[in-house]
Amino acid sequence: MTPPDERETRIPTRPLCARCHRYIVIDSVAADDLWREVIGETHGPGYICADCFARAADERLIDWTDGLSFRPISLAGQVAVQAAALRLLPDTKGEGRG
């Protein structure tokens, strides 16, 4: 795991779980009503890994098996997403991006 001080200074190549701060390799998508019931808010607190989501649901005895889908996130795909996002950032040094 990356030390906290390094996590703040580098661009991650994968999303981090907002709870356990591990990189998410398998993305999980919950139905909106299930997300609200388990997490307690509609939009937030950010990415939650499947392990943390399942743990939160299990602590509340919420059946999540039919309301959660999974999608792998390849490193190559995530790097492409990050590169595209960087190209959208404003140029603050006058050098241009992308």
Burial (0-12, 13-18, 19+ Cβ within 10 Å), 83: exposed
Judge whether 98 lies within some domain.
Answer: no
Nearest to 70, CA basis, from 29, 19, 24, 22: 29
Judge whether 49 lies within some domain.
Answer: yes
Label residue 46 by pLDDT band (50, 70, 90): confident
Average pLDDT over residues 52-81: 87
Judge whether 71 lies within some domain.
Answer: yes
pTM over 0.85: no
Distance CA 70, CA 90 (A): 33
Average pLDDT over residues 42-68: 87
Could you give the number of structural domains in the chain? 1
Label residue 63 by pLDDT band (50, 70, 90): very high
Q: Which domain holds residue 34?
A: 12-84
Measured in whole angstroms, how far is the alpha carbon of residue 93 from the centre of its chain?
Answer: 29
Distance CA 5, CA 72 (A): 28
Judge whether 33 lies within some domain.
Answer: yes
Judge whether 41 lies within some domain.
Answer: yes
Label residue 97 by pLDDT band (50, 70, 90): very low
